[in-house]
Amino acid sequence: MELTIKELTPNILEDFLHFFDNIAFSDNPEWGGCYCHFYHFPGNMDKWGKATKDENRNATISLIKGKVMKGLLAFVNEEPVGWCNLNSKEVYEKIAIDNDPGDTPKGEIASVVCFLIAPAFRKKGVARKLLNHAIKTLKEKNFAWIEAYPRKGDLSDAHSYHGPVSLFDSEGFSVVSENEHFLLMRKPL
């Protein structure tokens, strides 16, 4: 499988929208209204529950055009097959679990908050390739750390959208803290 990975820019907005409109949630349509906007959404959970698919789509379009939402889109034969929401930690309104205030490392921190892989391409190494590309890109951009927030437990593919713990373990991430549902894993760059 020949995989091409591109950084999200306004130039590939249509590919991103095609992925979210038609591919990403083809097996889980009830989540299709997110457009990976949740972690950028400034409101509380009640307001999030009332946000419509069109509102989230339009907000995401604005974030991409404004170069606020960043990440990586994976392609096979010019068709988008995977997404990694990746950005400076300070850009996100919400993080699944945050570090204790006394445990803030020095240097800029990047966060991986979401992976979405097309159903036909799951368990084929797409998320790993996205993560490896993210690590390489972040090093080039002089980030000091990368964090991930995988959900604990035995999860379905749909609920593994933060990435599985095993992926981060195998790429040298360490557990920094945890709560009832999530781990905070970090890797120095």
Residue 25: per-residue pLDDT: 84
| Distance separating alpha carbons of residues 15 and 63, to the nearest angstrom | 15
DSSP label at residue 173:
-
Residue 160: per-residue pLDDT: 80
Taking the mean position of all CA atoms in its chain, how far away is CA 86? Answer: 5
| Distance separating alpha carbons of residues 14 and 171, to the nearest angstrom | 31
Residue 29: per-residue pLDDT: 81
What one-character-per-residue DSSP string does 27-72 give? Answer: T-GGGTT-TT-GGG--S-HHHHHH--HHHHHHHHHHHHHTT-S-EE
Residue type, 121: F
| Distance separating alpha carbons of residues 110 and 30, to the nearest angstrom | 29
Residue 100: per-residue pLDDT: 67
Please report where in the chains the tokens 């409101």 appear, as a residue. 43
Single pTM value for the model = 0.93
Collapsing DSSP to helix, strand or coil, 120 comes out as helix
Residue 156: per-residue pLDDT: 73
Which residue ranges form the domains of the chain, and what is each CATH number?
Answer: 4-188 (3.40.630.30)
* Residues in Cβ contact with 188 at an 8 Å cutoff, skipping those fewer than 6 apart: 105, 144, 145
- β-strands 79-88, 145-148 pairing: unpaired
Structure tokens at 92: 């996100």
Residue 28: per-residue pLDDT: 80
Question: Which of 52, 50, 68, 71 is CA-nearest to residue 8?
Answer: 71
The β-bridge partners of 110 are: 88, 146
Q: What is the pLDDT along the chain (189 residues), one digit of tens a residue?
A: 899 999 999 999 999 999 999 998 888 888 888 999 999 999 899 999 999 999 999 999 999 999 999 999 999 999 999 999 999 999 999 888 876 666 777 889 999 999 999 999 999 999 999 999 999 999 999 999 999 999 998 877 667 888 999 999 999 999 999 999 999 999 999
Angle at 166 between CA 161 and CA 167, to 5 degrees: 65
Taking the mean position of all CA atoms in its chain, how far away is CA 106? Answer: 23
Structure tokens at 164: 């599985």
